[in-house]
C-alpha cells in the first residue's frame, strides 16, 4: 500500500514537472494556468511557445486513462512539441537540417501530433487537445480542436458567454489519417478564453452532484469583469466549496487567456 502511494506521488510530481515553469505575459494580456493532481493523477497538460515574431502558441490536452499510462502519453506529446520545429517554431537539428520552417497553423500541428501518437500508443489510448495561436497585437486567435471540450469565451463588449463551437476532429492517436479544421476568432479588450479538461466538469461531491458546465458558467459570468486572475480565484473557491474538503478523483487542468487592452 505504501509503495502504491509512493508511486502515485511520483507520477503526480512528474506530471507537474512537464508543465511550463512560467507563463508568457504578452503586453496587454494576462495568462494564468492551474493544475492539481487528484487521488489518481491523470493526463491533464498545457504548454506555450513564444515565437520571435511575438505570436504565442498554446495547447491544452487531456490524455485518456489515469496514472502512468496517461502521463506517458503526455510526456510523449511534450517531447514532440518541444523537439519539432513544426510545433515549436525553433530550428532543432536533425529534424530540420537546412532551415526551420515557420510555425505551422494549429490544425497542422494537431495533425502532426496525431500521426506520432497513432504510431506510438496503445490501441485504446488517445489524447483530446485544443491548440491555438494568438497574435497579441491585434487579438486574432487561430485554433483547431481534437475532440476536446469547447473553451468558454467571455465577450466583454456584449457581456455574453459562449462555447467556441467548431467542427471538432477525433482525439489524437485514434486514426492516423484524420485531419483537423482551422478556425479563427477576434479577442477584444476585456475578452477571456477559458480552457479546461473533462475532469473539471465531472468532479463529484458527497451528494452525488457533478460540478458541470452550469456552475462553471455562473462563476465566469460573475467574475469575468475582474479579469483572468479573478476568474481563476473565484473558480477555485467555488470548487473548494463544492467538494467540501474532499479530494477530486482526477486531475484538474485550467488555462485562462485574458485581453486587458
pLDDT of residue 148: 95
**CB 133: neighbour CB atoms within 10 A?**
22
When the pLDDT of each residue in the chain is averaged and rounded to a whole number, the result is: 85
Q: Residue 162: is its pLDDT beyond 60?
A: yes
**Stretch 214-233: mean pLDDT, rounded?**
96
Distance CA 106, CA 111 (A): 9
Q: What is the mean pLDDT of residues 2-25?
A: 67
Q: What is the pLDDT of residue 27?
A: 95
Q: Which residues sit opposite 143 in a β-bridge? A: 132, 183
Q: How confident is the model at residue 7 (pLDDT cuts 50, 70, 90)?
A: low
- Give the pLDDT band (50/70/90) at residue 102: low
| Architecture of domain 2-259 in this structure | 4-Layer Sandwich (3.60)
In this prediction the pTM is 0.87
Q: Which of 60-74, 123-137, 204-218, 236-250 has the lowest mean pLDDT?
A: 60-74
Q: How does pLDDT run across 210-220, given as a tens digit for each residue?
A: 999 999 999 99
Residue 98 reports pLDDT greater than 70: no
SS (H, E, C) the chain: CHHHHHHHHHHHHHHHHCCCCCCCCCCCEEEEEEEECCCCCCEEEEEEEECCCCCEEEEEEEECCCCHHHHHHHHHHHHHHHHCHHHHCCCCCCCCCCCCCCCCCHHHHHHHHHHHHHHHCCCCCCEEEEEEEEECCCCEEEEEEEECCCCEEEECCCCEEEECCCCCECCECCCCCCCCCCEEEECCCCCEEEEECHHHHHCECCCCCECHHHHHHHHHHHHHHHCHHHHHHHHHHHHHHHHCCCCCCCCEEEEEEEECC
Q: Where are the domains of the chain?
A: 2-259
Q: Identify the pLDDT of residue 95.
A: 45
pLDDT given for residue 185 in this prediction: 97
Closest CA to 8 of 255, 254, 252, 249: 249
Amino acid at each position: 500500500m505504501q509503495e502504491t502511494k509512493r508511486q502515485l506521488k511520483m507520477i503526480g510530481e512528474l506530471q507537474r514537472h512537464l508543465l511550463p515553469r512560467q507563463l508568457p505575459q504578452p503586453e496587454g494580456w494576462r495568462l494564468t494556468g492551474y493544475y492539481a493532481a487528484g487521488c489518481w493523477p491523470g493526463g491533464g497538460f498545457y504548454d506555450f511557445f513564444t515565437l520571435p515574431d511575438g505570436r504565442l502558441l498554446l495547447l491544452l490536452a487531456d490524455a485518456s486513462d489515469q496514472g502512468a499510462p496517461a502521463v506517458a502519453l503526455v510526456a510523449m506529446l511534450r517531447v514532440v512539441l518541444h523537439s519539432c520545429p513544426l510545433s515549436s517554431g525553433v530550428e532543432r537539428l536533425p529534424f530540420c537540417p537546412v532551415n526551420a520552417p515557420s510555425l505551422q497553423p494549429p490544425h497542422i500541428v494537431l495533425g502532426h501530433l496525431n500521426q506520432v501518437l497513432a504510431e506510438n500508443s496503445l490501441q485504446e489510448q488517445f489524447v483530446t487537445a485544443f491548440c491555438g495561436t494568438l497574435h497579441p497585437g491585434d487579438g486574432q486567435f487561430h485554433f483547431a480542436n481534437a475532440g476536446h471540450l469547447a473553451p468558454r469565451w467571455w465577450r466583454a463588449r456584449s457581456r455574453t458567454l459562449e462555447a467556441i463551437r467548431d467542427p471538432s476532429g477525433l482525439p489524437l492517436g485514434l486514426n492516423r489519417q484524420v485531419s483537423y479544421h482551422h478556425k479563427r476568432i477576434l479577442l477584444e479588450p476585456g475578452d477571456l478564453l477559458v480552457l479546461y479538461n473533462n475532469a473539471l466538469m465531472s468532479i463529484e461531491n458527497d451528494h452525488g452532484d457533478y460540478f458541470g458546465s452550469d456552475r462553471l458558467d455562473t462563476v465566469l459570468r460573475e467574475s469575468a469583469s475582474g479579469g483572468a486572475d479573478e476568474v481563476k480565484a473565484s473558480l477555485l473557491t467555488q470548487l473548494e466549496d463544492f467538494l467540501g474538503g474532499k479530494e477530486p478523483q482526477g486531475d484538474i487542468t485550467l488555462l485562462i487567456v485574458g485581453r486587458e487592452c
